[in-house]
Amino acid sequence: MKAARFDYARARSLAHAVELLGSGDGFVKLLAGGQTLGPMLNLRLVQPDLLVDVSRLDETRRWSEEGGTILIGAGITHAALEDGAIPGPTGAVLAGIASGIAYRGVRNRGTIGGSLAHADPAADWLSSLAALHAEVALVGPAGERRVKVAEFAKGAFATAVGDDEVLRAVAVPRLAKGARWGYYKFCRKTGDFAEAIGAVLFDPERETLRLVMGATNGAPVVLDRAAPGGIPETVDVAVLERALDDHGFAEDAYGKAVHFVAARRALVEARR
C-alpha cells in the first residue's frame, strides 16, 4: 500500500514549524526520522494534508548543558546517543538504552523526540526518561513550556504535546554522584519492542528510589519511595501488583509476571 496524497514542507526553523502547524491547512503532521510515521503513512493509519519535515533542523540536532541538566535536541538520533554523543555517566546510561532499540538501521534515523512524541507504551525512551526525572521542552505559539516525562504520556500513543506544538528538546538531569541505575527490557529477541520494562534510579543524595514499569497498556507506572537504607534487595510485589491492576493488568497474570521480572532485574542491576 502507498501513502495517501499529502503536501510536503521542510521547516526552516522551529518557529517556522510552529507556524506551519497552526496554518489551518487541514491535518498537519511533523516528520522526524520517519521510522514510525513512514509505515503509518504507507498503511494509511495516518493521512495528513501536510507533512512538515523537522528532520534537518540544526536547532534540534545538538545538545547543551544548563546547570546540572543536559538538553538533548529532539532530533538527535538513537544512534548518536548510542555512539556516546553525551559524555559522562549520564551519557553512558543513555547509550545503553539507545543500543537496545531496534537495529542499527532504525537507530540511524529514529530520534529521541520522535519516539517520545509517538508515545508507544513499549518504547524505551518513554519509560527510561521518566525514571531519569527528565522533562520535555515543548515550543508553541505562546512560547516554550516544560513537562515532566513522568506526566507526559496521557495514555497509549497520547501525549501532552498540543496540536500546535513541537517537541524541541529533552532535559535530563545529570546523575547525582553515586547514583545507581538499572534498566531491564523484557523482549523475545534483542532489539524487539518490550513486553515489559523495568527502570530504577537510586539517588543517594536525596535517598530516594524511583522505579518505573513500562510497556503497560498506557502511560508508564512511576513509583517513588524514600530509600534511607540504600537500594532495597527486593521489590515489593504487592505494591507493583496494585499499580499494575490499576493499569489494566488485573486479569493478565502473564503481563504482571513479566513486569515483576523486569522490575526485579532492573533493581538487581542497580545494586550491582
Pick one of 85, 94, 134, 161: the residue that binds ligand FAD (CB under 6 A): 161
Geometric angle at alpha carbon 136, from 177 and 210, rounded to 5°: 45
Q: Interface with ligand FAD includes 131 (CB under 6 A)?
A: no
Number of shown-chain residues binding ligand FAD (CB under 6 A): 31
Task: Report the nearest approach of ligand FAD to the CB of residue 104 (Å).
Answer: 11
Side-chain-side CA neighbours of residue 154 (13 Å)? 7
Task: Report the nearest approach of ligand FAD to the CB of residue 229 (Å).
Answer: 33
Q: What is the DSSP letter of 111?
A: B
Task: Report the nearest approach of ligand FAD to the CB of residue 186 (Å).
Answer: 12
Q: Interface with ligand FAD includes 18 (CB under 6 A)?
A: no
Residue 171: which residues within 8 A CB-CB, separation 6 or more? 66, 69, 70, 71, 72, 134, 135, 136, 137, 146
Please state, in angstroms and rounded to a whole number, the distance separating the CA atoms of residues 131 and 152.
12
Q: Which amino acid is present at 154?
A: K
Geometric angle at alpha carbon 46, from 45 and 50, rounded to 5°: 160
User: CB under 6 A: which stretch of 64-72, 191-199, 245-253, 254-262 binds ligand FAD?
Assistant: 191-199
Binding-site string for ligand FAD from residue 41 to residue 70, where x marks contact by CB under 6 A and - marks none: -------------x----------------
- Whose CA is closest to 168, among 135, 143, 142, 136? 136
Q: Interface with ligand FAD includes 169 (CB under 6 A)?
A: no
Please state, in angstroms and rounded to a whole number, the distance separating the CA atoms of residues 4 and 106.
23
Q: How many CB atoms lie within 10 A of CB 9?
A: 16
Please state, in angstroms and rounded to a whole number, the distance separating the CA atoms of residues 90 and 67.
14
Task: Report the nearest approach of ligand FAD to the CB of residue 191 (Å).
Answer: 6
Pick one of 18, 20, 37, 235: the residue that binds ligand FAD (CB under 6 A): 37
Q: Interface with ligand FAD includes 31 (CB under 6 A)?
A: yes
Geometric angle at alpha carbon 15, from 28 and 90, rounded to 5°: 95
Q: Interface with ligand FAD includes 101 (CB under 6 A)?
A: yes
Please state, in angstroms and rounded to a whole number, the distance separating the CA atoms of residues 128 and 229.
24
Task: Report the nearest approach of ligand FAD to the CB of residue 40 (Å).
Answer: 7
User: CB under 6 A: which stretch of 161-169, 208-216, 237-245, 249-257 binds ligand FAD?
Assistant: 161-169
- Whose CA is closest to 133, among 117, 118, 147? 147
Q: Interface with ligand FAD includes 216 (CB under 6 A)?
A: no
Q: Interface with ligand FAD includes 90 (CB under 6 A)?
A: no
Q: Interface with ligand FAD includes 80 (CB under 6 A)?
A: no
CB 237 within 8 A of CB 223: no
Task: Report the nearest approach of ligand FAD to the CB of residue 227 (Å).
Answer: 28
User: Which parts of this chain interact with ligand FAD (CB under 6 A)?
Assistant: 29-37, 54, 74, 101-102, 106, 109-111, 113-115, 117-118, 123-125, 161, 166-167, 191-193
